[in-house]
Structure 1
Amino acid sequence: MKRVRLLVFNAALGVLDYRLPEGMAIEFGSVVIAPLGPRQVLGIVWEAERLKAKEVPDAKLRPLLEVLPVPPLRAELRRLIEWTADYYCAPMSAVARMALASSAALRGGTTTTEYRLTGEEPTRMTPQRAAALDALQGEQATIRELAELAGVSEGVLRGMVGAGILEPVTVDLDRPYPAALPDFAAPDLNPDQQAAADAFIAATRGHAFAPFLLDGVTGSGKTECYFEAIAEALQLGRQVLVLLPEIALTENFLRRFEHRFGVPPVLWHSSLKSSERRRAWRAIVQGQAQVVVGARSALFLPYANLGLIVVDEAHEVSFKQDDGVRYNARDVAVIRARFESVPVILASATPALESMQLAEAGVYRRIALPDRFGGATLPEISVVDLRAEVPERGRWLAPRLVEGMKQRLARGEQSLLFLNRRGYAPLTLCRHCGYRFQCPNCTAWLVEHRFSGRLACHHCGHEVPVPEVCPECGTGDCLVACGPGVERIADEVAEILPEARVAVVTSDTLNTPEAIGAFVAAAEEGAIDVIIGTQLVTKGYHFPELTLVGVVDADLGLEGGDLRAAERTYQQVAQVAGRAGRGEKPGEVLIQTRHPEAPVIAALAAGDRDAFYDAEAQARREAGAPPFGRWAAIIVSSEDQAEAQMAARAIGGTRPDHPDIMVLGPAPAPMALLRGRYRYRLLINARRSAELQRVIREWLDALTFPQGVRVNIDIDPYSFV
């Protein structure tokens, strides 16, 4: 009899032993179905010596039921799963689940039925059918997915099938992707770019672990450089993973990729249809997907023959997962490259301080692109002191910025206004009684969105219509919007420049690939005069006629308790400044601030990035903050406030007495109520030499908590709410 150790997809059980039935063939990494009580569970066969399990006598072992028809997870991926679970103090089953991210793909090849419009007009038109006809032009998907897209019931669509308005289409779920062509449109690189590309090509050819930091100013052609490494990997028959921080960036990237390689890459992100995820997963695991472009979850997919990893915009905070397994995709990408023995390229115009320190220490090889491509110059940056250059009463744009926008409009050039705040105003109150609209589920104000006529919470999604009277005192016409959001700035621009064509670019207005594509096309064609946006517009876009960037409130990111506030502010402002003057015309950047003396603002104005990084590194070194020390957070939450508080006190009362570890708290989290759960935080500061994860695990494993209490560990936290 053979005993098999299984990592089962049940976090409470984790690891169980089973019996291998006669005639069943398995390998380490095989994906299997096993019995668990009256149910069946998914599991992965693992090396017994690497996982501890409760000892069960051979006679009590139940047999495995089935080996699924997919290639076993390779040893390199199993080591990555182990490392991620250990480093981020997460259940191994939760990490492994990301590798098997399409349950439908585990059952082998098949076809499915999707539906599309026939072009026939309905003999009986209803409001629901009209909505479906508008929403489903050019779409093809399952009935359920089409119903979600159209916002109608499945019954409405089935009626449209019966009426001949929708027709079924049989789709081969495993149809191959078109092959990318390495030599389709090879670029003409300048000497700096060619030197960078040559280094990446040599490393790709060498098939050994080689971490690079590609540090290039905005517009320097970083993408073209690592595209040459991708071309080399394609020539060698190896797969490539490109990680992007946000789905919003993929549309622009896809166009550039298709222009270079003749076909689009394989996409992986949360917005894919289930059939698309299934097709992509199977192509990846079989080695047929050549280049995969995706969000952070694409990092754990089971690539058959990985040859290169690229992390674009590697400084981006959105690479850090803030729930579930709280991993940083930038850092885990480097670890995966090490296990797979492949090069990894971290590309950024504003690298994270941690990456810069590793480059200085010689761990990463830094490749610099100090100049823009094609002779374009970096924009001139000026600071607008809002204490001296005061905007008109009731407005938020200083006279100098307004005048600059008028000049660009007169010359047929474009302006961009950056404010990292969605909606119309961050706070709405009653001028009569002072009532403030707060989310019932979170410690947060409701944000007014005038485009949709709603008050919304940006943390839990709670929405209510804007009331006609104050719910506290009943007074009508008394609500006051406090502070600016992008919608309010758009209203101000409409008053100042009534003839200007304005686009508001946020996750609310550009939430589909089609909407993003339409915006990019309109901006490139000169159909937009003023772009007003949040961080979505700070990176990835190239508009040759965009010559003025105005940062509406550079101080916004410096507020609050974010330990990386200065670095984030520098990165955001430098990135958005990089949108200006990318063509032949020179660019100008105006930074509005009430704190021009702040080191980060002064560094931006002087264009002295090295001075900023040096000062920030010194401050971090003195505080024992990353990369010179370690941070971790323990977040305790419950729907019962007293229960959460007692659990947090129990953790704080048993804190470890360790010379290299300091524990702060517990204290109510800045976001003390989030999605209906009361929250307390402990913050841990440790020397780099401390075995932080082991100490935390031993500390918490000795405690038990009520069923309603959740205790989450965040290693290297980026969010402090």
Structure 2
Amino acid sequence: MSSRARVLVLNSALGPLDYRVPRELAVEPGSIVVAPLGPRQLLGVVWEPERMPSDAEVGDNRLRNLLAVADVPPLRAPLRRLIEWTADYYLAPPAAVARMTLSSSAALDGARSAVEYRATGAVPDRLTPQRAQALERIGERQGLIRELATIAEVSDAVIRGLVKSGAIEPIEVGIDSPYPVPDADHAPPALSPEQSEAAGTLVGAVAAAAFQPILLDGVTGSGKTEVYFEAVAAALRVGRQVLVLLPEIALTEPFLKRFHDRFGCEPVAWHSGLRATQRRRAWRAVASGEAKVTVGARSALFLPYAELGLIVVDEAHETSFKQEDGVHYHARDVAVMRGLFERCPVILASATPAIETRHQVALGTYAEVKLPGRYGVAEMPAIDAIDLIEEPPERGRWLSPRLVEALRDTLARGEQSLLFLNRRGYAPLTLCRTCGHRFQCPNCTAWMVEHRLTRRLACHHCGHVEPVPRLCPECGNEDTLVACGPGVERIADEVAALFPEARAAVVTSDTIWSPAKAAEFVARMEEGAIDIVVGTQLVTKGYHFPNLTLVGVVDADLGLDGGDLRAAERTFQQIRQVSGRAGRGAKKGQVFIQTHSPKAQVMQALVTGDADAFYAAETEARQDAGAPPYGRYAAIIVSSEEQAAAHEVARLIGRHAPEVEGMAVYGPAPAPLAMLRGRHRFRLLVHARRALDVQDVIRDWLGALDWPVKVRVAVDVDPYSFL
């Protein structure tokens, strides 16, 4: 007789559904199946009925047959438990979490080859502007037609036309060729006594094959990567898989090079920049256990590892580990939970650990391994604050005289400098000096940022772009538009004016958008082809340039705006990280911090290097306010294309807020970013004591309410953004 199976279909609007299993199909919990739903066919995962209750029991005679079982290993129990926990903790539909695991639908196909496309070098007879743009942007890349169209920002039809003209050709590629196996003993490093002791602790944790979160707290340049590589080697020697999470795709390429030098080959990479065929190959290799070491962005956390023996979260303090769209999870915390379910150690590596992580160490939940000094002859750089009130830049400039002089001296010595400003583009605001008109995004409550490199005004929230007009759209006057405030492009212009002989590079997500671009930047720095780097937070972490000896922080006060509870901590982490780029070799480093508030606690802590005093004061302030990690926050965000509809639902939610001891609800109020991507937004903030199960309260509260389908209600547990 046919049995029945409970299936979590990948449709967030539906709960689990029951299906009949035909005799010819063999399924078990975790099997990935194709299930019919009306006229459609959906992917789903077979689940234990007792762990995934169904809303309604259906008799056997009314069940529809499953159609197929994917030829891949079933999702293992630890991953299924992680999906359940993530859905429960972050109040997300289980299907939305499971979809992150099955993010490569191509991996479920049986094909061993695929047809990709690449440019031939031929120029078509009819070269339209779109065709020229496509050929220029594609360059030497290859991929599926859809992927090439996305890269070139043209339609699929343009790419197909180029194929017909012979300018692009199809090629068959093998997509399941095996990956090389890293050699744990390829090139073991010469570790210092402190590093050897730290590595021994981590290797012991791998050998114990038990859950253990460990904070690897080492100053910038202390060799944290080399130390945790010894734990990676230990996992490889016993045949276990390793996952290394990085906060930025741009860091992947430098990491791959260091990994290759240590283990003789590159690890398996997983990030959004991969082609569909590359994602398929990586996914299947991870699921089969062939991929021994995977390095990737936060989404790599949900891959179906066959036998995970170690998780490393590098730069674990980074806020980019928090997902702001879809499922609002924090990869650092979910990584710890995956380690719990997989029964393996989790290493959190950071030079500036988050207060939440330090709190877990203080409670004894996390172990701690410290690397207090830099490796070898390298010393921590000297840090000075420049009071912009006492030492202002020249009129129309943004670099103070003392910083300019330091740049001049560094250039004269043949050394490299880095100017840090966490603001992309040329200027954050463009206005008309005649009528005062300000350029605002039509989709968001945000000013348009001028990008002179691309001659565009851009919104950094929704991606809307438009050309910079010659005339003011309000008053029609010409030559009255002025750029207000500095971005990195404006600082680069100032550098070019001050030092016309210097070779400068602007490093932001606009210029380093792929691992290949990051590799190109690293190569130019190592060759000495760049004298001065002007960059955003993209250059604050992960890079090692021994000839970079000067760091200038253009506006240290920038991150303190906005009333974010983590503003001071984030500023301290960011400036401490960027300061750590200086003096990583034998040459001594120097850091200058430009600020209007040199006496502020965070600035004093940076100058004196007294991180413990800063964190103690910040921790005390959090404790007094009942803020994380001593209390809990959850944000409820209501949005709609109609402002009135969003406001009405927000008020409905606010009126029905439950009265629970130890919990307060603030709002609703218009979000600071009151419109985003064309949707009006209102926010409520839930503040609760640590012991309260706030998820159950919110689940019951919102579950009892109804609102129109045109209104979206999202819950962000442990929010990092308050916009």
TM-score, length-normalised on structure 2? 0.97
1:114 deviates by 2.1
In the alignment, the residues of structure 2 paired with residue 532 and residue 682 of structure 1 have an alpha-carbon distance, to the nearest angstrom, of 38
Amino acid at match of 2:83: I
Which one of the candidate residues 549, 554, 557 is aligned to 2:556?
Answer: 554
1:714 maps to 716
2:693 maps to 691
Q: Encode CA deviations 1:279-322: one digit per residue, 9 max, x unaligned.
A: 11111111111111111011011001111100000000000000
In the alignment, the residues of structure 2 paired with residue 692 and residue 386 of structure 1 have an alpha-carbon distance, to the nearest angstrom, of 45
1:496 maps to 498
1:231 deviates by 1.1
Which one of the candidate residues 265, 268, 282 is aligned to 2:267?
Answer: 265
1:154 deviates by 5.0
Where in structure 2 are the equivalents of 1:353-432 lying within 5 Å? 353-432=355-434
2:29 maps to 28
1:293 maps to 295
Please say if residues 510 and 516 of structure 1, whose CA atoms lie closer than 8 Å, have aligned partners that are also in contact. yes
DSSP 3-state at the match of 2:173: strand
Which one of the candidate residues 443, 453, 456 is aligned to 2:455?
Answer: 453
In the alignment, the residues of structure 1 paired with residue 670 and residue 442 of structure 2 have an alpha-carbon distance, to the nearest angstrom, of 17
Task: Indicate how the Cα distance of structure 1 residues 285 and 122 shifts in structure 2: closer, same or farther if over 3 A, else same.
Answer: same
Q: Encode CA deviations 1:394-448: one digit per residue, 9 max, x unaligned.
A: 1111111011001001111111110000011111111001111111110100011
DSSP 3-state at the match of 2:418: strand
Amino acid at match of 1:292: T
Q: Encode CA deviations 1:664-707: one digit per residue, 9 max, x unaligned.
A: 11110000011111101001111011110000000000000011
Q: Encode CA deviations 1:9-53: one digit per residue, 9 max, x unaligned.
A: 111212111222224211111111112122222111111111111
1:205 maps to 207
Matched, 1:3 2:4: yes
1:132 deviates by 5.2
Please say if residues 32 and 42 of structure 1, whose CA atoms lie closer than 8 Å, have aligned partners that are also in contact. yes
1:149 deviates by 3.3
1:564 maps to 566
DSSP 3-state at the match of 1:51: coil
Which one of the candidate residues 313, 316, 329 is aligned to 2:315?
Answer: 313
1:69 deviates by 1.1
Which one of the candidate residues 84, 102, 107 is aligned to 2:109?
Answer: 107
1:57 deviates by 2.3
Shifted more, 491-500 versus 415-424: the winner is 491-500
In the alignment, the residues of structure 1 paired with residue 123 and residue 11 of structure 2 have an alpha-carbon distance, to the nearest angstrom, of 50
Where in structure 2 are the equivalents of 1:583-622 lying within 5 Å? 583-622=585-624
In the alignment, the residues of structure 2 paired with residue 561 and residue 642 of structure 1 have an alpha-carbon distance, to the nearest angstrom, of 27
Q: Encode CA deviations 1:468-503: one digit per residue, 9 max, x unaligned.
A: 111111111001111111111111111111111111
Task: Indicate how the Cα distance of structure 1 residues 581 and 124 shifts in structure 2: closer, same or farther if over 3 A, else same.
Answer: same
Q: Encode CA deviations 1:169-192: one digit per residue, 9 max, x unaligned.
A: 321211111121111111111111
In the alignment, the residues of structure 2 paired with residue 473 and residue 309 of structure 1 have an alpha-carbon distance, to the nearest angstrom, of 59
1:597 deviates by 1.7
1:255 deviates by 0.9
Q: Structure 2 regions of 5+ residues with no counterpart?
A: none
In the alignment, the residues of structure 2 paired with residue 123 and residue 451 of structure 1 have an alpha-carbon distance, to the nearest angstrom, of 31
Amino acid at match of 2:247: P
In the alignment, the residues of structure 1 paired with residue 463 and residue 415 of structure 2 have an alpha-carbon distance, to the nearest angstrom, of 37
The number of aligned residues is: 721
1:649 deviates by 0.5
Please say if residues 19 and 64 of structure 2, whose CA atoms lie closer than 8 Å, have aligned partners that are also in contact. yes
2:443 maps to 441
1:162 deviates by 5.4
1:262 deviates by 1.3
Please say if residues 112 and 170 of structure 1, whose CA atoms lie closer than 8 Å, have aligned partners that are also in contact. yes
1:19 maps to 20
2:485 maps to 483
Amino acid at match of 1:139: R
In the alignment, the residues of structure 1 paired with residue 100 and residue 469 of structure 2 have an alpha-carbon distance, to the nearest angstrom, of 43
2:547 maps to 545
1:234 maps to 236
In the alignment, the residues of structure 2 paired with residue 33 and residue 682 of structure 1 have an alpha-carbon distance, to the nearest angstrom, of 40
1:337 maps to 339
Please say if residues 70 and 108 of structure 1, whose CA atoms lie closer than 8 Å, have aligned partners that are also in contact. no
Q: CA RMSD in A?
A: 1.6
In the alignment, the residues of structure 1 paired with residue 220 and residue 294 of structure 2 have an alpha-carbon distance, to the nearest angstrom, of 24
DSSP 3-state at the match of 2:352: coil
1:46 maps to 47
In the alignment, the residues of structure 1 paired with residue 130 and residue 716 of structure 2 have an alpha-carbon distance, to the nearest angstrom, of 46
Task: Indicate how the Cα distance of structure 1 residues 363 and 410 shifts in structure 2: closer, same or farther if over 3 A, else same.
Answer: same
Where in structure 2 are the equivalents of 1:511-550 lying within 5 Å? 511-550=513-552
In the alignment, the residues of structure 2 paired with residue 526 and residue 217 of structure 1 have an alpha-carbon distance, to the nearest angstrom, of 26
1:658 maps to 660
Task: Indicate how the Cα distance of structure 1 residues 126 and 57 shifts in structure 2: closer, same or farther if over 3 A, else same.
Answer: closer
Where in structure 2 are the equivalents of 1:97-136 lying within 5 Å? 97-118=99-120, 134-136=136-138
DSSP 3-state at the match of 2:348: strand
Matched, 1:183 2:185: yes
1:214 maps to 216
In the alignment, the residues of structure 1 paired with residue 259 and residue 26 of structure 2 have an alpha-carbon distance, to the nearest angstrom, of 42
In the alignment, the residues of structure 2 paired with residue 176 and residue 518 of structure 1 have an alpha-carbon distance, to the nearest angstrom, of 27
In the alignment, the residues of structure 2 paired with residue 654 and residue 158 of structure 1 have an alpha-carbon distance, to the nearest angstrom, of 55
1:596 deviates by 1.2
1:194 maps to 196
1:207 deviates by 1.1
1:511 deviates by 1.3
Task: Indicate how the Cα distance of structure 1 residues 29 and 397 shifts in structure 2: closer, same or farther if over 3 A, else same.
Answer: same
Amino acid at match of 1:91: P
Where in structure 2 are the equivalents of 1:136-155 lying within 5 Å? 136-151=138-153, 154=156
1:139 deviates by 2.6
In the alignment, the residues of structure 2 paired with residue 126 and residue 665 of structure 1 have an alpha-carbon distance, to the nearest angstrom, of 54
Matched, 1:505 2:507: yes
1:62 maps to 64
Please say if residues 428 and 436 of structure 1, whose CA atoms lie closer than 8 Å, have aligned partners that are also in contact. yes
In the alignment, the residues of structure 2 paired with residue 647 and residue 152 of structure 1 have an alpha-carbon distance, to the nearest angstrom, of 39
In the alignment, the residues of structure 1 paired with residue 671 and residue 306 of structure 2 have an alpha-carbon distance, to the nearest angstrom, of 43
Which one of the candidate residues 57, 80, 83 is aligned to 2:82?
Answer: 80
TM-score, length-normalised on structure 1? 0.97
Please say if residues 444 and 457 of structure 1, whose CA atoms lie closer than 8 Å, have aligned partners that are also in contact. yes
1:59 deviates by 2.2
1:117 deviates by 4.3
Please say if residues 452 and 489 of structure 2, whose CA atoms lie closer than 8 Å, have aligned partners that are also in contact. yes
DSSP 3-state at the match of 1:49: coil
> What percentage of aligned pairs have identical amino acids?
65
1:152 deviates by 5.4
DSSP 3-state at the match of 1:344: strand
Please say if residues 9 and 44 of structure 2, whose CA atoms lie closer than 8 Å, have aligned partners that are also in contact. yes
Q: Structure 1 regions of 5+ residues with no counterpart?
A: none
2:476 maps to 474
Amino acid at match of 1:638: S
Q: Encode CA deviations 1:190-237: one digit per residue, 9 max, x unaligned.
A: 111111111111111221111110000000000001111111111111
DSSP 3-state at the match of 1:231: helix
Please say if residues 251 and 515 of structure 2, whose CA atoms lie closer than 8 Å, have aligned partners that are also in contact. no
In the alignment, the residues of structure 1 paired with residue 129 and residue 715 of structure 2 have an alpha-carbon distance, to the nearest angstrom, of 49
In the alignment, the residues of structure 1 paired with residue 275 and residue 23 of structure 2 have an alpha-carbon distance, to the nearest angstrom, of 39
Q: Encode CA deviations 1:546-591: one digit per residue, 9 max, x unaligned.
A: 1111101110000012110001000000000000001111101111
